[in-house]
Chain A
Amino acid sequence: MSIESAQMTHAGGIAGHIHPEPQGFVRRYVFSIDHKIIGIQYIITAFVFFMLSGLLAETIRTQLLNANGGFVSPETYNEVYSVHGSAMVWLVVIPLLTGGFGNLIFPLQIGARDVAFPWLNMLSFWIFPVAGLMLFSSFLMGAPTAGWTEYPPVSLQGSAGTSMWAAAIFLVGVSSTLTGINFVVTLVKMRAPGMTFTRMPLFCWGQFATAPLLMIATTALAAALAALFMERVFGVPFYDPTKGGSPVLWQHMFWFYSHPAVYIMILPAFGIISEVLPTFARKPIFGYKLIAFSSMAIALAGFMVWAHHMFTSGLAPYLQLPFMILTFAIGIPTGIKIFSWTATLWGGKIHLTSAMLFAIGFIALFTCGGITGIFLAAVPYDLDVHGTYFVVAHFHYVLVGGSLMGVFAGMYYWFPKMSGRLLNETLGKIHFWLFFIGFNGTFLPMHWLGIEGMPRWVATYDPQFEFWNRFASVSSYVMGIGILVFFVNVLWSIRAGKKSGPNPWNGRTLEWMIPSPPHYYNFKNIPTVYGLPYDFSHPLPYTGLEEELTDAPPALAAGAH
């Protein structure tokens, strides 16, 4: 039956075949080719890196407790924030949102048995911890000091760890590119019968908008990094002005990647929010099509605004204007999302679970960060606050208040699917409030610090800024404790948490129709899809799911060929 249904559509007949179950610990959990295991591997590894780079963040804040520093040397301080920024971006948020939640969830949501290239997927994963270790090991040889942006010529002067940094980021880039290719093919070719693009859950849309960015933008970064590596190691001049190179060239190439990269870090989080909100408001998502469409619009426009990071770099002035206006314009599709999410809450029957709290917190904080982004996009204002703590405030609001909140929402929401157990809700709420209050206490004052004249990348600062810096540092400890509560919660719940059953939240997307954790083959029979998942007043829009929660063995494994 499932062969037939597979033939009814172009979508992945291959999904009709079940791999033999992998045998042995190594095959199952280490070099696994199962997208769910790989997803969990990504999540665990990324959270380990998150602890490390979070501790680096606390080192930054501890140093800044006093105007004349004193906790670490200026040299070390520079290494600390450079690795903090690089690791948070490339080893934490991007892997969590794409390799982690992407792998874990979207193949289930489109009714596929795996991603298109399981072996490639395993390869992508295994590159990632290796690259991560390389990045952190650069501390041993003098870590990079010029920030995560590593502008030459100063990065050409940096110690040996800078080359290690370039190599490590190049490798995570390769991993991302492979993941992107894998995801695009999976989403295009392997949807279950009836799962048209306009019936895809919005998390899948988030991944579908992100994957091409991973594929295209990351490759541009790879070129920039390769050139930096060649220049540092072999002396091949690209960026050094005393040899005819151009330092501004690096900035173009870096930001051509890194602006799209900020959307790599937010679009999947948008997707998570779009799943959590309707489930806990027990309402269809408001404006499905516009939310899906605006993700694509943001991804596309993301390629055309990179120079807004370079307004002070000696760009020809007339070039500043188109970049400014296009950047403003990105506020429109993003606004559509914000308004649609808010409208989704209207008239709902809202369950304020931890996942829901993080989703609502996400909207509140991301909107604030987005609005300061619009401030920065206005050239005359950017000429004032570029390179100051105002920028630091902006991007932590979107990255921590946005991407990281999205990750937490996703963790509370999908943890049962990964482990079969619920995370503790009380601890979850303590986590939320400590995090939310600590977060605002840390990053809100940075806005006025920046405006009044505190630059970024400084190990010591003017004493007039001491009060708010101390305030921020203490708040960041509160945030740290909140995150500690989260880790305790995970470790405790994984062993002693309440059993969740297949569908603890009454979710309506396909991943909730199968056991938690799912069998290695996901679906016994590939379901057929009839409509959108977000219609709570209608019966489920799927058929072919009758056997999923029974003990019946999967039909195909029994020899349906």
Chain B
Amino acid sequence: MVENRAQSAHVGPGFWSVTAVLGLLAIASIVFWYWFPLEQYLPAAIVTARQVDTLFRFMAATGSALYIFVFGYLLYFAIAFRVKPSDPPDAIGVQVHDNHRLEFWWTLIPALFVVLLSVVSVKIWYEIMLEPQNGLVVQAIGHQFNFTFRYPQINGEITDEMHLPIGVPVTLNLTSSDVIHSFWVPAMRLKNDTVPGLVTSIRFTPRLTGRYQIICTQFCGVLHAQMNKQVLVVEDKASFDRWYQGWQVKNAHVSNALPAAGGAAVALTGGSAPAGQTLFAQKCSACHAIGPFNQRIVGPGLKGVLHDPSHPDLVNGDPATPANVAKILQTGYVGSLGAMPNATTNGLSNQDIANLVAYLDSLK
């Protein structure tokens, strides 16, 4: 019925002027979101934070434009098409059942919009994924109810503040010693859960100096609300080094800096201890310190794993031999201390295992 032209000219009193007003409002809202000073409320501390802001602006602008139309027409129709006191009591509306042209467009346009939004989101997702792999490794470990941090490439000790030098790409490895937490820095627009038994990682590059809040966003127990006082400090390289050294001096009595990797016997053919050391920093140090057995992070300290007479057996009861250590790395082990992931989960090749065992063997 509505198909014919005479009808569509009678879309209703004021339809086109309402449409024009809604159009203007929609444009205004798009302009608003385009200019909205987001960073004034929340600084964008890392490079990709600005991409996320762009995505937000895009969605907020299109979303509110769409909403203005839906809500505007809704309000307008509800008011304009009320029954009037002058109408007969059995008055009925225009008996239209559908309009295929209209339905076609309002299916197609959202579909196209979904495609566009997917492209935008995937692009920004890709930029987050493309952050450099080989940056400064930092580990954050969730505990009930705080985070601790380690800088395995510098030295394996535990700090309770997280400092980052500006402009240096960071690989943040996350794990937990008890339940699931989530590491969120609003200023980074980025978060990830810390899952016990799993190491997940996110990568980013700090771009603004400042002190930012780290907040736990996964319920983790009674004091979850208080797990948000940790700070992330971004500063220039020099102050970063100063902080790190100062901190080391302060904690000198517990210091156990990495011994230089010696050329000790290689148990599994072809294992290279230096390569193992690098690998250890990337893949193992989230859970293991290079310290005595009872220096636990998630798993036991591994300094004496092969050469400590007071620790003759491995956690699984096997004698501490290189072959048995290799086996634990291969198969993983779940014992009273927690879950040691297997080679697949850790992403270790046989060569990696040989390197790691060579490295562990070199620690005396």
Contacts and interface: CB of A to CB of B under 8 A. Distances in A.
Interface in A135-168: 145-147, 151-154, 157
A74 B198 CA distance: 29
Interface stretch (B133-141, B219-227, B241-249, B253-261): B219-227
A197 interface: no
Contacts of A381: 52, 55-56, 59, 121
Nearest to B106: A339
Given A284-B95, A332-B114, A342-B77, A145 B222 contact: yes
A123 interface: no
A247 interface: yes
8 contacts: A282-B92, A290-B103, A314-B192, A342-B74, A350-B93, A360-B78, A380-B48, A384-B191
B230 to A, nearest CB: 13
A367 B213 CA distance: 33
A363 B70 contact: yes
A474 interface: no
A347 B12 contact: yes
A358 to B, nearest CB: 12
Contacts of B97: 284, 286-288, 534
A52 interface: no
B129 interface: yes
Given A282-B93, A455-B217, A332 B111 contact: yes
Contacts of A195: none
A535 B95 contact: yes
Contact of B192 (A368, A383, A537): A383
A147 B73 CA distance: 39
Interface in B113-148: 114, 117-118, 121-122, 124-125, 128-129
A287 B2 CA distance: 13
A342 B70 contact: yes
Nearest to A361: B74
Contact of B178 (A153, A290, A371): A153
Given A314-B193, A387-B191, A455-B228, A537 B41 contact: no
Given A154-B219, A387-B191, A452-B186, A349 B87 contact: yes
A27 interface: no
Interface in B48-103: 48, 51-52, 55-56, 59-60, 63, 66-67, 70-71, 73-74, 77-78, 81-83, 87, 90-99, 102-103
B52 to A, nearest CB: 5
Nearest to A74: B222
Main secondary structure of the interface of B (DSSP, over half): mixed
Interface residues of A, number: 88
Contacts of B178: 153
A272 to B, nearest CB: 17
B107 interface: yes
A455 B184 contact: yes
Nearest to A338: B70
Interface string A322-361: 0011001101100110111011011111111000000010
Contacts of A281: 81, 93
B334 A242 contact: yes
Q: Which 6 A-B pairs have the closest CB atoms?
A: A387-B217, A241-B197, A347-B94, A283-B93, A348-B93, A458-B225
Nearest to A375: B59
A250 to B, nearest CB: 10
Contacts of A207: none
Given A78-B222, A153-B196, A346-B11, 12 more contacts: A153-B178, A154-B219, A244-B334, A331-B114, A332-B110, A336-B106, A345-B74, A346-B12, A347-B81, A349-B81, A363-B70, A371-B66
Contacts of A375: 56, 59-60, 63
Interface of B: 11-12, 41-42, 48, 51-52, 55-56, 59-60, 63, 66-67, 70-71, 73-74, 77-78, 81-83, 87, 90-99, 102-103, 106-107, 110-111, 114, 117-118, 121-122, 124-125, 128-129, 178-180, 182, 184, 186, 189-193, 195-198, 200, 213, 215-226, 228, 334, 336-339
Given A151-B180, A153-B180, A284-B97, A348 B70 contact: no
B95 A536 contact: yes
A536 B74 CA distance: 22
A321 interface: yes
B352 to A, nearest CB: 20
A346 to B, nearest CB: 5
Interface of A: 74-75, 78, 145-147, 151-154, 157, 241-244, 246-248, 281-284, 286-290, 312-314, 317, 320-321, 324-325, 328-329, 331-332, 335-336, 338-340, 342-343, 345-352, 360, 363-364, 367-368, 371-372, 374-375, 378-381, 383-384, 386-388, 451-453, 455-462, 506, 534-537
Q: Which of B73, B178, B179 has the most CB of A within 10 A?
A: B179
A347 B110 CA distance: 24
B195 A374 contact: no
A535 B1 CA distance: 14
Nearest to B185: A453
Contacts of B52: 380-381, 383-384
Contacts of A288: 97-98
A287 to B, nearest CB: 5
Q: Which of A241, A243, A325, A364 has the most CB of B within 10 A?
A: A241
A372 to B, nearest CB: 8
B219 A459 contact: no
A213 to B, nearest CB: 23
A154 B226 CA distance: 16
Nearest to B82: A350
B91 A453 contact: no
Nearest to B42: A452
Contacts of A325: 114, 118
